Amino acid sequence: MDFSQRDPPLTLKGFDQASHLAKTFPEPRSISVVLTSPLKRALQTTLKGFSQVLALNGVGEDGQNGAARLLVDRDLQETSDLPCDTGSDRDILEKLFPNVDVTTLDKDWFVKTGMYAADEEAVILRAKTFRKKLWNIAKSVQSDQSGREDGRDFARDSDDAASLNVADDDEMDSRSFGSYESGGADADGESDR
């Protein structure tokens, strides 16, 4: 990957890995919510890996209204301030991904200052903030599902949410959350999505 390129797209290997995810993810119809970073490669991974279950414009690919919601969250952006880990303008994302709602992003969502700075303190704060948000989403999904028989769950892009493990200081029980790793890393344990 060219680390000097701002917000690079997914590589061919990354598309292959996302295709593998789409084919091997256990019980994809059980997913209620998919959370992803606004970075291009994360959005492309999500759209390719979960296309069979996502509700884009309110309707799933197969026309089902009960499809999973896609939530784009700036808290899931990369933790470094390298150009390759710095996102694109919201206007660019809207053009590249017209079926994805990025209106929750501020115009300057990609600026690496404050809570989004590339330092340990900011990363810990962001992880804590996101875990609370994730907890609330999980409770909302549980509440929405009471009485439902389809047993939907939620998933997040585990590579982009790796920073969630930075601090473990609140009451959330990790067993309440579902995640899946596709095993898409190379022999060195690196993913070149």
DSSP string of 73-127?
-GGGS-SS-SGGGS---HHHHHHH-TTS--TTS-TTTT---GGGSSSHHHHHHHH
Evaluate whether residue 33 is within a structural domain.
yes
Q: How far apart are CA 90 and CA 185, in angstroms?
A: 29
Q: How far apart are CA 54 and CA 98, in angstroms?
A: 14
Evaluate whether residue 189 is within a structural domain.
no
**What percent of the chain is predicted at pLDDT more than 70?**
68
3-class DSSP assignment, residue 172: coil
pTM of the predicted model as reported, rounded to 2 decimal places: 0.75
What does the pLDDT read at residue 1? 64
Evaluate whether residue 177 is within a structural domain.
no
Q: How far apart are CA 24 and CA 49, in angstroms?
A: 9
3-class DSSP assignment, residue 171: coil
For residues 68-75, average pLDDT = 94
pLDDT tens figures, 91-119:
999 999 999 999 999 999 999 999 999 99
What does the pLDDT read at residue 66? 59
Evaluate whether residue 176 is within a structural domain.
no
Per the DSSP assignment, residues forming a β-bridge with 60 are 55
User: What is the tally of structural domains in the chain?
Assistant: 1
Evaluate whether residue 132 is within a structural domain.
yes
Signed CA dihedral, 69, 71, 76, 81: sign only: positive
Evaluate whether residue 40 is within a structural domain.
yes
* Highest mean pLDDT, choosing among 16-20, 25-29, 49-53, 180-184: 16-20
5-9, 46-50, 124-128, 170-174: segment of lowest average pLDDT? 170-174
Range of 152's domain?
12-160
pLDDT band at 177 (very low <50, low <70, confident <90, very high): very low
Evaluate whether residue 69 is within a structural domain.
yes
